[in-house]
Amino acid sequence: MGKKVTVVGAGFYGSTTAQRLAEYDVFETVVLTDIIEGKPEGLALDLNQSRPIEGFETKVVGATTGPNGEGYEAIEGSDVVVITAGLPRKPGMSRMDLLGVNAKIVRQVAENVAKYAPNAVVVVVSNPLDEMTALAQIATAFPKNRVLGQAGVLDTARFTNFVAETLGVPVKSVKTLTLGSHGDTMVPVPSQCTVDGKPLSELLPAEKIEELVTRTRNGGAEVVALLKTGSAYYAPSAAAARMAKAIAEDSGEVWPVCAWVDGEYGISGVYLGVLAELGATGVRKVVETPLTDAELASLKEAAEAVRAKQADVADL
Ligand SMILES: NC(=O)c1ccc[n+]([C@@H]2O[C@H](COP(=O)([O-])OP(=O)(O)OC[C@H]3O[C@@H](n4cnc5c(N)ncnc54)[C@H](O)[C@@H]3O)[C@@H](O)[C@H]2O)c1
């Protein structure tokens, strides 16, 4: 049977994710939902009309949903559900400023996902990411491997892009890594960064690497400040769509994602940005990568910061 993926929230992030997923042409159906009546149906109609031009057969279905599960029949049988519902940041806001309002939205969405797509793998993107991922797991009561969050694929892509631009090399020759949280305690891992296999530290002075690390950490805010309304969505949607594809195809690809950590790196019981092998079961396993002592200390610090915030989400 063909694969089915649902994107909840038809805003900038959700609609571009649906477009990318449809254009991959590997799913039978992409469902796009929103609470704004007619918006997901209109976008689906528009996307379907691009099929002859872009040459894909995937069918996009739009569905308006209500707070009591109205319209959620459309997501039945989904293999993957990407949750993008929720407010984005405004200039000057931190991701944590969205906690209260987005928690209500994500909880309500997650409860309906559990009811209508009980076998799906859930990829959360709503912010604050680490907290919303933990909340979605609690609200769905799905096994922890079946709920994960998107942050590291995006943060890593930003870091890679900055390094490639700085050195004037193709992005494909650059490999970077960020772990930790999607926020202030993001942990870029320069020791794992290479350009054509050469350590980044041999190509750029430490201060320049630090400057790119800082720009990566503030990568989302830099876009928000320029846009003035709304937040980034081209790179974020690419990240979530690739994860959904890896899961649907049971590919075993290893990506940095927000996953439940249970003993790896000496850290337990928290959703945290780590490398993970993705497949049909969601996170097949967390993959430990060699870290310097300083990087490991930063990762542990990030884990404790996120743990403190995630402890409260059950009550939201
Ligand atoms: N994880 C990341 O890396 C990352 C990156 C960028 C943005 N984000 C986050 O993604 C979220 C979406 O961003 P955006 O730019 O698409 O915002 P947006 O305002 O364009 O779209 C959000 C959509 O969610 C819908 N929505 C609200 N409540 C809903 C519900 N209960 N059910 C279904 N849909 C609902 C809204 O009607 C709106 O269309 C934000 O929280 C943003 O902070 C995360």
User: Is 96 a pocket residue for ligand 1 (Cβ < 6 Å)?
Assistant: no
Contact indicator for 103, 135 with CB cutoff of 8 Å? yes
Collapsed DSSP state (helix, strand, coil) of residue 89: coil
User: Is 42 a pocket residue for ligand 1 (Cβ < 6 Å)?
Assistant: no
As separate numbers, helices (DSSP H) first and strands (DSSP E) second, the chain gives 10, 14
Residue 66 confidence (pLDDT) above 80: yes
Structure-block tokens of residue 160: 């890679």
Rounded distance between C-alpha atoms, residue 24 and residue 58, angstroms: 8
- The whole-number pLDDT of residue 53 equals 98
As a whole number, mean pLDDT of residues 13-42 equals 98
CA 167-199-221 angle, to 5 degrees, is 55
Residues β-bridged to residue 241: none
Ligand 1 centre to CA of 12 (Å) is 7
Catalytically active residues, by annotation:
182
Q: 1 versus 154: which is more confidently predicted?
A: 154
Residue 1 confidence (pLDDT) above 80: no
- The answer to whether 14 is a known ligand-binding residue is yes
**Mean pLDDT score across all residues of the chain:** 96
Residues 145-177 have pLDDT tens digits of 999 999 999 999 999 999 999 999 999 999 999
Q: 310 versus 26: which is more confidently predicted?
A: 26
pLDDT more than 70, % of the chain: 100
Instruction: Tell me if the bond preceding 188 is cis, omega within 30° of 0.
Output: no
Q: What's the pLDDT band for 18 if we cut at 50, 70, 90?
A: very high
User: Is 233 a pocket residue for ligand 1 (Cβ < 6 Å)?
Assistant: yes
CA distances from 289 to 160, 227, 228, 302 (A): 18, 36, 38, 16
Residue 184 confidence (pLDDT) above 90: no
User: Is 190 a pocket residue for ligand 1 (Cβ < 6 Å)?
Assistant: no
Residue 213 confidence (pLDDT) above 80: yes
- The whole-number pLDDT of residue 122 equals 99
Contact indicator for 220, 89 with CB cutoff of 8 Å? yes
Using most ligand atoms within 8 A of CB, pick from 6, 8, 13 the residue to mutate for ligand 1: 13
**Which atom of ligand 1 sits closest to the CA of residue 125?**
1
β-pairing verdict for 80-83 and 4-8 = parallel
Whether the full predicted model's pTM is greater than 0.95, yes or no, is yes
- The whole-number pLDDT of residue 94 equals 86
- The whole-number pLDDT of residue 95 equals 87
CA distances from 207 to 23, 100, 212, 214 (A): 40, 37, 9, 11
